[in-house]
Structures are given as C-alpha cells and as structure tokens.
Chain A
C-alpha cells in the first residue's frame, strides 16, 4: 500500500516564509517554480497553475487582479471551508504571492454567501497579516504593495466557474462567458485576472519555500502533490483528509472507514458515480476525477433517488443561458421521474443518453459539460437497480 501519511497542508507551516522567499526572487522565477512543480488547479478543472500565471504575467496592463475562488459549492465539498476557517493566513499568503508573480496590486477573495460566518475570521487574518507587514504597503520592505478584499457571493453554484465568478464580481448575473478572451486577458473590470481555488493557493507558499522538486515528491507523474478530500455519506468519520494524488479509491475508503460501500460519487455532483468494480482505480487528473468530493453510498441506498437529487441540483443551479444545460438537465430530471414511475421506454432512455452526450460536447461551460456525468455513470453502473425496478 502506498505511503499515505505524508502531508503538506496539514503539516507544518510558518507564516510568511513562502512570501519572503518569493519577494526575494523575480516574479518570472516564482512562476517558473510553480510551473516546474506541476501544481494543477484544485477546484476540479485541473488547469496548470503556473501556466495560468504566466499568461497573466505576459499581458500588458495598468491593472491586474488575482482572485481567490472561495465559492465552494460542489455538493459534498467542504475542504475550502476548513482551510478558510483554520488557515486563512496561508490562503492569503498564496494569493499575495500570486499577485506578486503576475504584477497585481489587488486581490479578492470571492467567498460564497453560505460561508458568511467565516468572513470575520478571514478579516481578522487580513488584519494580522497587515500587522506583520505580510500584506498592505511595502510588504517586508520589498516595495511590493498588495491588498486583499473579500467579496461575497449570494447563493449561486455556477459562480464557482471562473468566468461566472468574474461576471458576478463585475456586477452582472453570474453567467459564464465565451472564451477566448480568457480571464487572464480580460477578467475583472476587463483587466487581466487570475482566478485560483483556495486549496491551490495554499500550496503556493510551500512550493516557493521548499521548491518544486520537493512538491513533486508527492503524488504521481502528471498529478503531483497532495489533495484534500471532503468525504461524506455512509462512513464512520466524515471529514477532510489530505492524501496524495494517485491514491486508489480503495485505499481512500479504507482510510476514512467506509464499510463495504455500494457506490461512491467521486468529484461531486459533477463527477462520476463508481461501483465496486472501479474502486481500485487511482484518483488523479488522469484517473477518477480529483475534485475532492467523495460521497459514499451504503448498500441500502436507492441510486435513482441519489440521481434525482443531483439533477434537481443542476436544474436549479444552471445559469440558464445555454440551451443544452438549461433544457437538458430539466429533461434528464424528467426522465428520472419517468424511470421512477416505470414509464420510461428504452427508446426514450436512448434519446436521453444521446442528450447527455450533446450536453457534454456543446454546453457553454463546465457545469453543463459535466452535469450529465451522474446520469451516465449511475445508469451504466447501476443499470439493474435503476432501470429494472
């Protein structure tokens, strides 16, 4: 079994070391270190963080912004809540380093409205960091100024999508935009903007202070580092676990004390639902989706009900602008209701499977492109249970 005790985020941390190191080298070198580390976005999409920074760095602009995406809304995910509650200074340090790297003087934390009770905690961290000269004017006498402001969301899952988040911050309905131009070209206030997930930013101080090579000693090729997993459902000890990427689902289930589950939803509602036969697959950017949400279902769970719950979520949370997502999720839910009543024909089921395919290929953003995953995987893996009722 893989060594799974190694921790980064839940290990040691001395506030400011990463930032001090970053400020002592050139922004380009900070970016290089992050690129070399292979760090990929921890929000789910897994875009290489260093590359994103490099794009923004290369843009010429009088203003640039970095935004911490704390709109953690994926069902079954709560790791960012824990980070923001327990380690807000680390998040802000990562954001400050990002700002330094791309040339931004202002950073924002877009905090989901549901987490408003953490707001005071974050604001306290901002004050503390300012007192320690790790934030604000002339940080550590480096002549680098950086300020952080918290902006609240107001109950919209789709705002976790980076362009929807930017639209929301710009004062519009949180509807994803067409790309290109990318946020790194035209983001908040139409200026180059980097949006990084809370967890992603937390890794940054470590990588800068300890080096890319050290970080790469965690995880596997193409999926370096550790990952926080939010584990819930039918298990003894729900909570946040830090494990190396590349770990198999079986190994993970053992750590969290899951007893003989029937199914596991990996990667949140937008992820996939796997059955026992797939439990030996690794979780990584190449394997099972590493979004970090793990929901465990015991033998007694009705998988059709589970699917219905997910689809109800997407029907409400779709921003509603593009056809496949607005209408498609609704049709899938309607199909599940038909299955429940036992009046869904095979022919119609096949139409719905084609619909899933089209939603995946032609939706405007990640929401509609991933929302059919639950339908497809539950229908495939639990056919007997959901179809032959």
Chain B
C-alpha cells in the first residue's frame, strides 16, 4: 500500500510519519513519552483531560497529542514551560477533585492518576482538596462497584460502555462543574442495563470502578475447619496472573498457581478446562441434535444458528437486547456453572463429603461470573452451585496477602479427578477457542476422523479480527450421520458485544446462514475479561492468547471427547451427553429482560 508520508519535526528532530498518524503515536515511535490520562488505545479519542497537550508551531493554544492527526507538516514541541505548566495545573485540578484515600484504594500502586502525581513530584494540593467523600458508593451489583468520589470524568468508562461494548449503561449527566458519570436515572448499577462485563473497570484509570470482591468471605471459608473449599481455575487467569507478579504479559503460570492456591489453604484445586470439555460434549451434542431436527425432521421451531452461552456478559447482553431470540442460545451452562453442579453432586458423593459443607470458588478472568453464580437458576445441585466468582486481580491480592510470591512457587499439578483438562478446554480462554474445541469434537463424532487441519489448529477462526467466519464441508460421515454428508457447516466468531451486535442484527434479519456462532462479551475473549490484570491493550491481549495457544500445543490430550476423566464422569454418572442428569444439572434457561429499561 502506498500511503502518503509527511515530514514532521518533534523537539527539533525530523521524522516521517504516515498521514493521519496522531502526534501521540508519532511521539511514541520517536521514543518520546507523553503523559496521558483520558486516552486509551482501545477507545475512541476524547481529548478532554488535557494532560497530553503539546505545542504546535504557529498555534496559539496547546493541542492534545492524542487527538491531533497529522495531515500536514508540523513542528511539535513536547516540553516547554507552557506545556509543563499546563500539564501540572491540569493534574493539580484533577487531584483536587479526586477523593484520594490511596491506602484504602484497590488501585493503590496501580492508579494512573497516582503514578502521574508521582512522576510530577506532586507534594501538596495546589487547590483545596476533597477531604470527605461526597457520594455514596454503589455496591448494588454482584459484579461492579462504582465509587464516584474517585472519578475524574475522563469518560473512558463511557466510551467503553457505549462505543466499545454497545451497552450504554454509563453516560455523562449534567453540565459544567456538576458533571457526573452515572447510569440512566442515576439508578444503582444493578438496576440498569449493565451486562457486568467489567470492561469499564479494566479501563478506569483510578479506583472509581472496581469489581465486587468476595475475598473476605473466601478467607472465612478457608479458615473454617468445617468447610471444604474447592477452587477451579479458568485458563485465562493462568495466562495473566503472572503480570501481577512481575512476569511479562503472555507468561502462563498454571502450575505455580496450583502450588500457591494449596499454600493459601484451598482443599482442592481443579481445572475449569475439565468443565470446558464437559461443555463441549454437551454443546456439541446439542448442535448435532439441533441440526438433525432442522435438516432431517424439518423442525422449524428449533433455532439455528445455535450460539454459545459460556460468556455470562454475552448472555445478559442477549437477555436485554435480543430477548425474542434467546432460543438461539445453547441451553448449556458455562463451564464454571457445570463444574459447580458436578462438584456438589457427583464429586461430593464420590469422596463422601456433605455438599452443604463444600464451598466452590471459581477463579475467573471475569466480572460477570460473579453475577452468573448468583443467578437463582444456578442451584441445580440443591445448593448454590458455585459460591464465589473471584477475579484474577482479586486472586493475586489474596496470594500476596498470604505472603506468597508466585515466582517462588514450585510447579504442581491439579487434583484429580476433575483436574484434567484437554487442550480444547484450554483454548476456551481466547476468542474462537470454544468454536475450535467444538469443531474438533463434533467433526470427529460425525466422521470418526480428526478435523482436517494441521496440528488440529483451525487457524481461520483464530486471531483478533472482530468478526471471523469459516466454512467446513463434512465428508465421509459415519453411517448414523449420513444426513450430514456434504453439508457445509458455516460458523462465525465474535468478541466484544459491539461485534456480537453486528452478528445478531444479521441473525435477527434472517441474513445469517451460520449454523453455529461463538460469542464472547469481552474483546479478545476471556483473556481480555473484566477481571483480568490492568492495564489491558491489544498487545497484552495478543500476548496472553499466544501463551494459551503455546501451552495447548504440547498437551497430551487436545480433544474434549478424549479426556479420560471426563469419560469416567459420563460412565459413572451422566451416562451420555444430553442425558436426563445432564439436562437437570448442566443445562439452563434464560430470562428475557427489558431492552430500554430494567428494574430489579
């Protein structure tokens, strides 16, 4: 591609940049650091904090580096008295409005405002500061806590919610100095259309948004000798929690984490990948059943395409925005919830523990999982199937609180049974992973042969493109699946609910000829979840995905149906996929919710 190059000058040095490059990007390429606050690489540009201001020759006023796209030769200064004064004063203004009780803040040490204050050597408040909190903290939601006292009106959360996720729970209200970031009608966040994805938390520069942390209850359970505390860990936290301990993004620390969790006092450490394999068995079978009803029996009631249901953010998004189309969603619970139901029934019986004494904690990359485990329909074991959803960040804090450095931990395996997951289960963590895992199994069930891709890697559905599509023609089917012979299976993958919306609008209009769609609420899939370490950027998410795929390559079992512990579960308990027990424990239904208003 022939792109127009433009000559620019930054601090006296000459550079060539592509037309349309922002000054901020140009400076980054030139190795010049510009402080930012309202800017985030995932979001639309706002240019409102006025921290990244620079001087452009010939212009009277300063220009935000993040917002200025270079269309003509310009000469830029990034360090001058005028700039330093502006950055400093604007920072002072923000600090004076921010209720800075840093010691008791979840973002202490990881706050962008705090680190700017440190970089600028700020040792006093230039303007009178906030001494008492002005707003009540909103902790109505299982997933997200909002503390407006910490808010500096950078609007990253709004741009996340409206532009990136197309949810629109948060907006700016009022005007002038009384501007506030809030929800429609200033309702508690649990009562508005929020999908609990937590993407706003990941992008908040301060502690104004955080997840609802259950650590205190978990400690209590661990300390209670009566309680048998089991933790299941999802693949994405394992590929990211290292970041909290100084590992570079993209370092998988699964086995060190296992050791740390035992040290903390969890009685059993299980692998959510096991439940992911279980999900694939159930969901794959459901897909085949749906296709059969459609193709062979001509049943028009059964909905195709079938859409995945393991992302609770996506599920709630669908309940709000597509309440008439919930029949497209697979009835399968998410791996987290399937696991909980299995632990408190099958496992409890197997090891002879009273299920009422079992506490199931799920280490998840996700804020929405906290809401999911509290859904009233998630009690099919007779108990709350999963007691607590814990985020990667919260887990890291618990480990640190226990005086453990992950780096010093030995490598340990999971507990068994329920501790073996296949590679297919592992890649659930990345966008496209559920689809890939499902195809590996479904194709093999139907044809008796592995998928025709090198190393089982279905590359067309890997990557970070917002919506990805693939087609696979099924040939040489086993006798009982003759009805699928020659059928071209069309699949699609979307991550981030803005992309989900693109696909769903096609489905609603009947323009989508897909059979199966994977949708994840968060950009990048679970590895970019709202409970993952902060910061998040496209590069960091890519690194986490690489870690997951690398680890997967070398696993002994890479297809869900070949997981021996899973086969044992079916043999001893469930009998076969979609069995009566399966239906009772592993499948669920959805709740149509308000599209424009939501109460309760």
Residues of chain B lying within 8 A (CB to CB) of residue A358: 85-86, 89-90
Residues of chain A lying within 8 A (CB to CB) of residue B71: 180
Measured in the bound complex, the distance between the Cα atoms of B89 and A358 in whole Å is 7
Shortest C-beta distance, B198 to chain A (Å), equals 25
B106 at the interface (CB under 8 A from A): no
User: Which one of B64, B93, B178 lies within 8 Å of A178 (CB-CB)?
Assistant: B64
Known: A331-B127, A362-B53, A362-B62. A326 touches B177 (CB 8 A): yes
Residues of chain B lying within 8 A (CB to CB) of residue A315: 176-177
Shortest C-beta distance, B577 to chain A (Å), equals 50
Known: A318-B176, A324-B50. A180 touches B69 (CB 8 A): yes
State which residues 80-97 of B face A: CB under 8 Å. Answer: 82, 85-86, 89-90, 93-94, 96-97
Measured in the bound complex, the distance between the Cα atoms of B128 and A173 in whole Å is 30
A208 at the interface (CB under 8 A from B): no
Shortest C-beta distance, B532 to chain A (Å), equals 29
Residues of chain A lying within 8 A (CB to CB) of residue B85: 354, 357-358
When the two chains form their complex, are residues B172 and A173 in contact, meaning their CB atoms are under 8 A apart? Answer: yes
Shortest C-beta distance, B202 to chain A (Å), equals 22
Q: Beta-carbon contacts of A343-359 to B below 8 Å, as 1s and 0s?
A: 00000000100110110
When the two chains form their complex, are residues A178 and B50 in contact, meaning their CB atoms are under 8 A apart? Answer: no
Known: A326-B153, A361-B62. A320 touches B50 (CB 8 A): no
User: Which one of B61, B96, B179 lies within 8 Å of A361 (CB-CB)?
Assistant: B61
B409 at the interface (CB under 8 A from A): no
User: Which one of B51, B60, B67, B176 lies within 8 Å of A319 (CB-CB)?
Assistant: B176
Q: A180-B71, A321-B155, A358-B86 are in contact. List 9 more A-B contacts (CB 8 A).
A: A320-B175, A320-B177, A320-B179, A323-B93, A327-B97, A354-B89, A355-B89, A362-B61, A364-B64
Residues of chain B lying within 8 A (CB to CB) of residue A351: 126-127
Q: Beta-carbon contacts of B47-74 to A below 8 Å, as 1s and 0s?
A: 1111101000000111010011101000
13 interchain pairs, CB-CB under 8 A:
A178-B45, A178-B67, A315-B176, A318-B176, A320-B178, A321-B179, A323-B51, A324-B90, A327-B97, A329-B176, A331-B127, A361-B82, A361-B86
Shortest C-beta distance, B346 to chain A (Å), equals 54
Known: A330-B177, A361-B86. A323 touches B172 (CB 8 A): no
A322 at the interface (CB under 8 A from B): yes
Shortest C-beta distance, A71 to chain B (Å), equals 15
When the two chains form their complex, are residues B47 and A178 in contact, meaning their CB atoms are under 8 A apart? Answer: yes
When the two chains form their complex, are residues A316 and B47 in contact, meaning their CB atoms are under 8 A apart? Answer: no
Residues of chain A lying within 8 A (CB to CB) of residue B127: 327, 331, 334, 351
A-B pairs with the 3 shortest C-beta distances?
Answer: A320-B179, A327-B93, A178-B67
When the two chains form their complex, are residues B48 and A364 in contact, meaning their CB atoms are under 8 A apart? Answer: yes
Shortest C-beta distance, A100 to chain B (Å), equals 28
Shortest C-beta distance, A172 to chain B (Å), equals 10
Measured in the bound complex, the distance between the Cα atoms of B50 and A369 in whole Å is 13
User: Which one of A180, A320, A334, A363 lies within 8 Å of B176 (CB-CB)?
Assistant: A320
Residues of chain A lying within 8 A (CB to CB) of residue B126: 351
B540 at the interface (CB under 8 A from A): no
Residues of chain A lying within 8 A (CB to CB) of residue B53: 361-362
User: Which one of A327, A329, A364 lies within 8 Å of B47 (CB-CB)?
Assistant: A364
A328 at the interface (CB under 8 A from B): yes
Residues of chain B lying within 8 A (CB to CB) of residue A317: 175-176
B46 at the interface (CB under 8 A from A): yes
Measured in the bound complex, the distance between the Cα atoms of B97 and A327 in whole Å is 8
When the two chains form their complex, are residues B50 and A323 in contact, meaning their CB atoms are under 8 A apart? Answer: yes
Residues of chain A lying within 8 A (CB to CB) of residue B51: 323
Known: A351-B126, A362-B61. A316 touches B176 (CB 8 A): yes
When the two chains form their complex, are residues B177 and A324 in contact, meaning their CB atoms are under 8 A apart? Answer: no
B246 at the interface (CB under 8 A from A): no
Q: Give how many A residues have a beta carbon under 8 Å from the other chain's beta carbons.
A: 34
B121 at the interface (CB under 8 A from A): no
Residues of chain A lying within 8 A (CB to CB) of residue B48: 321-323, 364
Measured in the bound complex, the distance between the Cα atoms of B50 and A361 in whole Å is 10
Q: Which of B46, B53, B172, B177 has the most CB of A within 10 A?
A: B177
A303 at the interface (CB under 8 A from B): no
Shortest C-beta distance, B564 to chain A (Å), equals 58
- Closest A residue, CB atoms, query B171: A173
Measured in the bound complex, the distance between the Cα atoms of B46 and A320 in whole Å is 13
Residues of chain B lying within 8 A (CB to CB) of residue A328: 93
Measured in the bound complex, the distance between the Cα atoms of B576 and A200 in whole Å is 80
Known: A361-B61, A362-B62. A178 touches B68 (CB 8 A): yes
A360 at the interface (CB under 8 A from B): yes
Shortest C-beta distance, B138 to chain A (Å), equals 21
Residues of chain A lying within 8 A (CB to CB) of residue B90: 323-324, 358, 362
B174 at the interface (CB under 8 A from A): yes
Measured in the bound complex, the distance between the Cα atoms of B176 and A13 in whole Å is 42
A156 at the interface (CB under 8 A from B): yes
- Closest A residue, CB atoms, query B55: A361
When the two chains form their complex, are residues A360 and B176 in contact, meaning their CB atoms are under 8 A apart? Answer: no
Q: Beta-carbon contacts of A306-319 to B below 8 Å, as 1s and 0s?
A: 00000000111111
Residues of chain B lying within 8 A (CB to CB) of residue A321: 46, 48, 153, 155, 172, 179
When the two chains form their complex, are residues A320 and B45 in contact, meaning their CB atoms are under 8 A apart? Answer: no
Residues of chain B lying within 8 A (CB to CB) of residue A357: 85
Shortest C-beta distance, A48 to chain B (Å), equals 16
Q: Which of B53, B89, B127 has the most CB of A within 10 A?
A: B89
Shortest C-beta distance, A157 to chain B (Å), equals 10
User: Which one of A156, A326, A331, A355 lies within 8 Å of B179 (CB-CB)?
Assistant: A326
Q: Beta-carbon contacts of B155-196 to A below 8 Å, as 1s and 0s?
A: 100000000000000001011111100000000000000000
- Closest B residue, CB atoms, query A369: B61
Shortest C-beta distance, A160 to chain B (Å), equals 14
- Closest A residue, CB atoms, query B45: A178
Measured in the bound complex, the distance between the Cα atoms of B93 and A351 in whole Å is 12
Shortest C-beta distance, B68 to chain A (Å), equals 7
Measured in the bound complex, the distance between the Cα atoms of B62 and A334 in whole Å is 25
User: Which one of B68, B94, B96, B175 lies within 8 Å of A318 (CB-CB)?
Assistant: B175
Measured in the bound complex, the distance between the Cα atoms of B178 and A327 in whole Å is 10
Shortest C-beta distance, B337 to chain A (Å), equals 40
Measured in the bound complex, the distance between the Cα atoms of B92 and A331 in whole Å is 11
When the two chains form their complex, are residues A324 and B93 in contact, meaning their CB atoms are under 8 A apart? Answer: yes
When the two chains form their complex, are residues B176 and A362 in contact, meaning their CB atoms are under 8 A apart? Answer: no
Residues of chain A lying within 8 A (CB to CB) of residue B128: 334
Residues of chain A lying within 8 A (CB to CB) of residue B68: 178, 180
When the two chains form their complex, are residues A363 and B50 in contact, meaning their CB atoms are under 8 A apart? Answer: yes
Residues of chain B lying within 8 A (CB to CB) of residue A322: 47-50
Shortest C-beta distance, B79 to chain A (Å), equals 15
Shortest C-beta distance, B98 to chain A (Å), equals 11
Shortest C-beta distance, B156 to chain A (Å), equals 13
Residues of chain B lying within 8 A (CB to CB) of residue A354: 85, 89
- Closest B residue, CB atoms, query A328: B93
Shortest C-beta distance, B170 to chain A (Å), equals 14
State which residues 277-333 of A face B: CB under 8 Å. Answer: 314-324, 326-331
Residues of chain A lying within 8 A (CB to CB) of residue B153: 320-321, 323, 326
Measured in the bound complex, the distance between the Cα atoms of B193 and A349 in whole Å is 46
Residues of chain B lying within 8 A (CB to CB) of residue A361: 53, 60-62, 82, 86
- Closest B residue, CB atoms, query A316: B176
When the two chains form their complex, are residues A331 and B172 in contact, meaning their CB atoms are under 8 A apart? Answer: no
Measured in the bound complex, the distance between the Cα atoms of B51 and A316 in whole Å is 23
Measured in the bound complex, the distance between the Cα atoms of B361 and A173 in whole Å is 44
Measured in the bound complex, the distance between the Cα atoms of B177 and A129 in whole Å is 44
Q: Which of B64, B69, B90 has the most CB of A within 10 A?
A: B90
- Closest B residue, CB atoms, query A368: B50
When the two chains form their complex, are residues B175 and A362 in contact, meaning their CB atoms are under 8 A apart? Answer: no
Residues of chain B lying within 8 A (CB to CB) of residue A327: 93-94, 96-97, 127, 177
Q: Beta-carbon contacts of A166-184 to B below 8 Å, as 1s and 0s?
A: 0000000100001010000
